[in-house]
Amino acid sequence: MTASGGMWRNWARSETVRPARIERPSSVGAVQRAVVAAARQGMRVKAVGSGHSFSGVAIAPDVQLDLGGLAGVLAVDAATRRVTLGAGTRLHQLPALLRPHGLAMENMGDIDRQTIAGATSTGTHGTGGRFGGLATQIVALTVVTASGELLTVSETENAELLPPARVGLGALGVIVDLTIQCVPAFLLHAVERPEPLESALQTYLERSASEDHFEFYWFPHTETALTKTNTRLPIEAARHPLGRVGRWVDDELLANGLYRGACAVGTVLPGVIPPVSRLAQRVTGNRDFTDVSPRVFVTNRAVRFRELEYALPREVVPEALRAVKRLIENRGWRISFPVEVRSAAADDAWLSTAFGRETGYIAVHRYFRERPEEYFRAVEGIMSAHGGRPHWGKMHYRDAASLQALYPRFGDFLAVRDRLDPDRLFGNPYLEKVLGA
């Protein structure tokens, strides 16, 4: 289905565009026809998922492809636990889709609104020092190239393209399906505790390496870290889920309802932010429960925000966070959103932020009605000084010249792009900035 272009906004309201037209293909053939027609008309094409990227990676100035019609399970190989999904499948749909097969994703992030193709193409990750980002779970994918042809990439077919295609930024073509390596469904035992910030920093490296999934949040203007440790258990283990009322109070009333109000007040009365942050770290983050993995990994995020996240060599994360803390204190800023610290294993996807190194992540946020540039640029300076790589789907201010040195296979990725999309049919202003014109 084709429609005239209305105004499109991403979730964070940090990017807007009015496409010349919007295509909503319901089949792979329709995607091919849309790509061929756009090329014939000299128009660029960009596939869009849920719009949950904070950067302009999904901006479509000419033809926007909404792949919501390409969703669901296409095939299941029970023996290998591999599942083929339509590119427009939303992450929050996966638990119900995989449950009948006794399967789950090996790791997930804490937001599940994205499509599987959008999340993997931008390098979305969860946490866990021994686990890679979502893209590492891809074992095969099918791409519509600039010529309108179907290109299959797998471990046995065009295998040399799997490392660049796993995190492809939408620059190599339109992904129409992906095959992911799943694992048997499992439980997570979650322990969430407040701890002194310095203690969390001093133990971060050891816990990132030894715990299955470890992360923590730090509310600026406090000396407390809210730690989250998830331990994997077999699906047959005893479940002790949060009660419905307790989960609603913690995750909806406090984390979304009251917190949204506090952020809104803080935009006009910044002085209330430090006491609100001190209150938040006292009344949240202290619970112990066991549930199926998606219900532990994922948290509902209803308060809109903007985010900058950097991937660092894991060993420098404590030093970098201390520098961010000093920055906030020295500038006298009032920051209402917590800073998030996570980790991931090294991987071999050429544009993955964890390519070739054990990685830690530091993410900073601002309420969407606040101006983030001064804070984000200053934090980016700290991250850059520590060898940081910006998350492709989050806000950042880097360009191709500064990014090329951070990725050993950057030039090889550009060569693959030249081969698959020589005329930049799948380009947009963001890709011109980060990959070069």
Query: Do 277 and 342 fall into the same domain?
Result: yes
CA distances from 364 to 186, 320, 339, 340, 344 (A): 31, 12, 5, 7, 17
pLDDT band per the 50, 70, 90 thresholds, residue 379: very high
Query: Do 136 and 279 fall into the same domain?
Result: no
CA distance 5 to 63: 8
Q: What is the CATH number of the domain that holds 123?
A: 3.30.465.10
pLDDT digits (tens, 9 = 90+) for 218-244: 999 999 999 999 999 999 999 999 877
Q: Of 179 and 286, which is predicted with more confidence?
A: 179
DSSP 284: S
Q: Which of 184, 219, 247 corresponds to the end of one domain?
A: 184
Total number of domains in the chain: 3
pLDDT digits (tens, 9 = 90+) for 99-136: 999 999 999 999 999 999 999 999 999 999 999 999 99
pLDDT digits (tens, 9 = 90+) for 283-320: 666 899 999 999 999 988 778 999 999 999 999 999 99
Question: Does 137 score more than 50 pLDDT?
Answer: yes
Per-residue pLDDT at 397: 98
Query: Do 123 and 207 fall into the same domain?
Result: no
Question: Does 4 score more than 70 pLDDT?
Answer: no
Residues in the chain: 437
Q: What is the CATH number of the domain that holds 251?
A: 3.40.462.10
Question: Does 282 score more than 90 pLDDT?
Answer: no
- Calculate the average pLDDT of the chain: 93
Question: Does 248 score more than 60 pLDDT?
Answer: no
CA distances from 218 to 197, 198, 215, 281, 421 (A): 7, 11, 10, 9, 43
Strand, coil or helix: 66: strand
Q: Which of 40, 66, 92 corresponds to the end of one domain?
A: 66
Q: What is the mean pLDDT of residues 76-82?
A: 98
Identify the domain containing residue 92 by its residue range: 71-184
Per-residue pLDDT at 417: 98
Q: Of 273-277, 381-385, 420-424, where does mean pLDDT reach its minimum?
A: 273-277
Question: Does 246 score more than 50 pLDDT?
Answer: yes
Question: Does 252 score more than 60 pLDDT?
Answer: no
Per-residue pLDDT at 245: 58
Q: What is the mean pLDDT of residues 390-398?
A: 98
Per-residue pLDDT at 6: 82
Per-residue pLDDT at 253: 47
